[in-house]
Amino acid sequence: MKTSELKYKSSQMVWPKAPYNFGATVFKPSHYPDLTKVYEPDKYWFPLRFRGGIYGVKLINRGTVNKPKIQLFIFSNKPQNKKGIQDIITEVSYRFEFNHDISEFNKKFKKDKVLGPFIKRLRGMRMNCAYDLYGLLMIGIFLQNTVVRRTVQMTNSMLSEYGAKVRFDNKEMFCFWKPEEMMKVPEQDLRVLKVGYRAKLFIKTSKTFVKEKIDEFVLRRMPREEIKKELLKIYGVGPETARILLEECFHSRGVFEHVAPWQQKIYSHLLFNKKLVPAKKIVRYIQKNWGEWATLASHYIWEDIFWQRKNGKKIEWLEREIRL
């Protein structure tokens, strides 16, 4: 495989809207590890497919939660111009919610009996999505109907075979293939990589992306319910994958309507201190308590336990559910 060397570099300073929690926003400990990004405390590297090109983006935290400041480096394989740089910054701002105003969320719930402690620990955390819609959909397919270990294995083998390897700032990582490429791959070639029946999904959804000219920039301007309707039309996208895409890629934060069985167990522990509470009850509870902020609220509750785990706390019941 050919590695793209991104040797042209530019640097800009950006000031996200406070409060902005850099670490908790760029890195999500609940996500499975893969080769598409690199995280170190206060630093984050990822490839960005944008307008037909691949760029390398590096974010460095130069501020605090209350006085956020981020240095944003762009790496490319050809010289950069002002307009291009500005457009990439706008895109990264969208993906990492630099300009979202969450002050109302904090004000409203910092003394909330349930949510308060979570907000205290993760204050300024937002949703993020380093991927474009197509990339995140690929992740969604890797997640379907399997355990995390196998998801990781499938992702890595597919990236090594079909991904675009990029190198910048002395880091190497993979960017997902383009749908135009994947739609032409014979199903048998994918089956060899042990992705099972997902082989068909990768090819079919790629064809859909190309033929229907699915454009996430158009979707972003539509109301949530419209986006959801469009996403569910894609073969292989059901309620859970749509939820992932809506929350992460489209930054939808007001509607909480679906929990997968795995999440159901974890929310049952965290919110009800019980082994298994009916999914419907969990959904109602979260939506009722935190209304137009329900998704963001659930995100705080969700990520918190994984941060504790990352920071070395042993949580027996959680380990059983993760099974890495």
Tokens at 85, concatenated = 């740089």
Question: How many residues sit in the footprint of DNA (CB under 7 A)?
Answer: 38
Nearer Cβ to DNA (54/129): 129
Label residues 297-316 b or e (16+ Cβ within 10 Å = b).
bbbbbbbbbbbebeeeeeee
Site for DNA in 22-61 (CB under 7 A): 30-32
Question: By CB under 7 A, is residue 240 in contact with DNA?
Answer: yes
Nearer Cβ to DNA (14/245): 245
Question: By CB under 7 A, is residue 263 in contact with DNA?
Answer: yes
Site for DNA in 191-220 (CB under 7 A): 191, 194-198, 200
Tokens at 98, concatenated = 């630099």
Question: By CB under 7 A, is residue 278 in contact with DNA?
Answer: no
Site for DNA in 126-145 (CB under 7 A): 140, 143-145
Which residue in the set 9, 123, 150, 207 belongs to the binding site for DNA (CB under 7 A)? Answer: 150
Q: In this structure, what is the dihedral angle of CA atoms 140, 141, 147, 150, given to the nearest 10 degrees?
A: -120
Nearer Cβ to DNA (183/244): 244
Which of 276, 267, 273 is CA-nearest to residue 298?
Answer: 267
Q: Say if residue 230 is exposed, middle or buried (CB neighbours under 10 Å; 0-12, 13-18, 19+).
A: middle
State the DSSP H helix or E strand holding residue 108, giving kind and residue range, or none if neither. helix 103-109
- Enter the DSSP assignment of 67: S
On whether the CB atoms of residues 66 and 28 are closer than 8 A, the answer is no
Binding track, positions 84-123, relative to DNA; x by CB under 7 A: ----------------------------------------
Nearer Cβ to DNA (69/309): 309
Q: Say if residue 242 is exposed, middle or buried (CB neighbours under 10 Å; 0-12, 13-18, 19+).
A: buried
Question: By CB under 7 A, is residue 228 in contact with DNA?
Answer: no
Which residue in the set 217, 235, 272, 317 belongs to the binding site for DNA (CB under 7 A)? Answer: 235
Question: By CB under 7 A, is residue 260 in contact with DNA?
Answer: yes
CB of 232 to DNA, least distance (A): 7
Strand partners, 73: 11, 58
Question: By CB under 7 A, is residue 238 in contact with DNA?
Answer: yes
CB of 299 to DNA, least distance (A): 12
State the DSSP H helix or E strand holding residue 75, giving kind and residue range, or none if neither. strand 70-76
- Binding-site ranges for DNA (CB under 7 A): 30-32, 140, 143-151, 153, 191, 194-198, 200, 234-242, 244, 260-263, 321-323
